[in-house]
Amino acid sequence: MSGLNSIGLGLVGDIGGTNARFALVDFDGADPQLIEPTSYKGEDYDTAEDAIEHYLAKMGLKHAEHAVVAVAGPIEHGTVHFTNSDWKLSEDSLRRAGGFRSAKLINDFTAQALAAPRLAPKDLRQIGPLPTSGEGDLAILGPGTGFGAAGMVRRHGVETPLTTEGGHIAFAPTDDTEVEILRVLIKRFGRCSIERLLSGPGMEDLHVILGAVEGRQVEELTAKQITEHGVAGDSCCKATIDRFCGILGSSAGDLALALGARGGVFIAGGIAPRIVDLLDQGPFRARFEAKGRLSDYTKAIPTHVVMNPHTALIGAAVAMTPDGRAAVS
């Protein structure tokens, strides 16, 4: 761990609606290296601070010098109320929990954005055409317990992440079936965001609503069951996943247009890697490209699925470096 000497011992975290992941950081070499990345179920702990203290105890540490934790939700005045759980975490409580000299919260998809340019080919699955240049701004988005979105602006060798709440923009249907799905969700929620469909709970709602719209009898299943059954060849669950992938493709294309992400779109989150073959074979890419007069624009944008589960930890480690701290402050 000698590489930690330049900035001291660092802890990075990635806390979402389901999992809390932590690692120590080694800054030897050009990019930070993760040490002992470990994942915990959030439901096993009363607070985020409890999970952090557990990890530090596991590593035999009473404290570390610095901490950067990526969190699912908007950060206001150094505090986050998690979008998809009852947890609350502040930079002050984080600092006290680990005895850190400095502690910072960043959005989880800001962390994904910081990691994206540093991912190796083994960390990615290409969907659609190969990239033409690798230059240009990036979009990073994806479904998990919720739906996150961020950008990465790249100018003259400088990378600046763009924090957004793009997962909460309105869902835009593209055919009669999706119009009917939208009617059901508007009646239930009053407004239908992308996250209402492109998330674990959203997939569960989509499965039932799509069956009703198409006149099929469907069983209520968890998102995990839907993905497992669909990948195994169950036709009913595959219909749900194909529709999910189509909506994801449309939404990813819309966000690519909004962010000018000509350098590429990265699909992160916990769901996409589990259905990556169906994502590749299904309507995702066609829907991504289908943008009317702007279709030539989106056809030239490469899309990738992020297969590495620790990318937000990598991004948090980047934010811990002096340049990274400046970029996300």
Q: Percentage of the chain with pLDDT > 70?
A: 92
Q: Which of 12-26, 42-56, 128-142, 214-228 is the least confident region?
A: 128-142
CATH superfamily of 2-115+310-328: ATPase, nucleotide binding domain (3.30.420.40)
- Asked if pLDDT for residue 298 goes beyond 90, the answer is yes
Enter the CATH code of domain 122-306: 3.40.367.20
Give 286's pLDDT tier (boundaries 50, 70, 90): very high
pLDDT computed for residue 329 by the predictor: 35
> Are 278 and 242 in contact, with CB atoms under 8 Å apart?
yes
* Helices vs strands, H then E, count in the chain: 12, 14
- What pLDDT, on the 0 to 100 scale, is given for residue 226? 98
Helix locations, 15-81, DSSP H: 48-58
Residues 292-318, mean pLDDT to the nearest whole number: 95
DSSP symbol at 19: E
Kindly indicate the confidence band of residue 141, based on its pLDDT and cuts at 50, 70 and 90: very high
| Residue partners of 193: CB distance under 8 A and separation at least 6 | 147, 167, 168, 169, 170, 171
Question: Each residue of 55-83: pLDDT tens digit?
Answer: 999 998 876 788 999 998 889 999 998 87
Q: Is the pLDDT of residue 16 over 90?
A: no
Can you name the residues that pair with 38 across neighbouring β-strands?
22
Q: Name 22's Cβ contacts closer than 8 Å, sequence gap at least 6.
A: 11, 12, 13, 14, 37, 38, 40, 51, 52, 55, 313
Would you place residue 234 in the very low, low, confident or very high pLDDT band (cuts 50, 70, 90)? very high
Average pLDDT over residues 152-165: 92
Give the predicted TM-score (pTM) of the model.
0.90
Q: Does position 308 have pLDDT exceeding 70, yes or no?
A: yes
Average pLDDT score over residue span 96-106: 91
Angle (CA) 241-173-166 rounded to 5° is 85
Q: Considering just the CA atoms, what is the radius of gyration of the chain in Å? A: 20
Averaged pLDDT, 87-110:
92
Region 31-41 average pLDDT = 87
Residue ranges of the domains in the chain?
2-115+310-328, 122-306
> What tens digit of pLDDT does each residue of 159-187 get?
999 999 999 999 999 999 999 999 999 99
Res 2 pLDDT > 50:
no
Place of tokens 């059901």: 184
Query: Which residues pair with residue 103 across a beta bridge?
Result: 67
Residue-wise pLDDT tens digits, 201-219:
999 999 999 999 999 999 9
* CA distances to 13, 32, 44, 52, 58 from 55, in Å: 10, 19, 13, 5, 5
Mean pLDDT, the chain, integer: 90
